[in-house]
Amino acid sequence: MLFDLHCHTSGISRCCRLPYNVIVDKAKEYGYDGIVLTNHYLACDIEKDSDKFIENYIKEYELSRKYGESVGLKVLFGAEITVSYNEAVHLLIYGVTKDFLRKYKNLPNLSQKELYEVCHENGCVLVNAHPFRYGMTVQDVRYLDGVEVNCHFIYGKCYAKELTRIAKENSLALTCGCDYHGDSDKPFGGTYLPDDIVTESDLANYIAKSKISNLKVHDPETKEIYDLSVQTRN
């Protein structure tokens, strides 16, 4: 199955241009079997009314999931955390559940180590989103489960070679997503998942334990689209 592990909808991610139903329709049209909805989650979102934000966040996922079921596209729940200690750093959480978000509302204000520990205590994994965007570097690998090859055209490069090396050196998963906001004509990148990945927990376990990462990479620099299979863990 080909999944885009990094998607947004306008109902929560204000920078996204399209509502959930159009995002799902486009993913289906472009040949994906599923997506992970990783809407933005910032400290400012929880300052006024954290309960209201969390419930709206969950509702957006439920709407996306139900609509996906109606058109034959799997939609799993995730989150993209903009951390308060450096707002240029975004960390993706896979394995997200409604109870997890309701229990841990202060995720953006945690340190990377704290966020990693909370994730692992609750069956989730932590992946560094678009590590080299805007001159950033990969975050502390001790507190990561994976690094993302990001195929969004705006970043200019996907850094697949560099991230493959880092994943191998640190026994991290290598994932791929398009960071889709409805602002590009047709996303091509993604992660190939086994057919038995059905739940958020299945996905988190796969990222945590899989020795081989299988990706479809769309390099914005060369316009090349290719499959990448690499062993990053022994």
- Select from 3.20.20.140, 2.40.30.260, 3.40.50.300, 3.30.200.20 the CATH code of 2-231: 3.20.20.140
Average pLDDT, rounded, for the chain? 95
Q: What is the pLDDT of residue 134?
A: 83
Q: The whole model's pTM is what?
A: 0.96
- Determine the pLDDT at residue 101: 97
Tens digit of pLDDT for each residue in 31-82? Answer: 999 999 999 999 999 998 999 999 999 999 999 999 999 999 999 999 999 9
Determine the residue type at 212: I
pLDDT in tens, 190-228: 999 999 999 999 999 999 999 999 999 999 889 899 999
Structure token pair of residue 18: 């399209």
Q: How confident is the model at residue 161 (pLDDT cuts 50, 70, 90)?
A: very high
Residue 3 has pLDDT above 80, yes or no: yes
Confidence of residue 155 (pLDDT cuts 50, 70, 90): confident
| Cβ neighbours of residue 126 closer than 8 Å, sequence gap 6 or more | 91, 92, 93, 112, 115, 116, 119, 143, 144, 145, 146
CA angle 29, 33, 35 (to 5 degrees): 90
Give the alpha-carbon dihedral of 134, 5, 166, 110, to 10 degrees.
Answer: 70
Short-list 147, 112, 116, CA closest to 133 = 147
**Partner residues linked to 4 by β-bridges:** 35
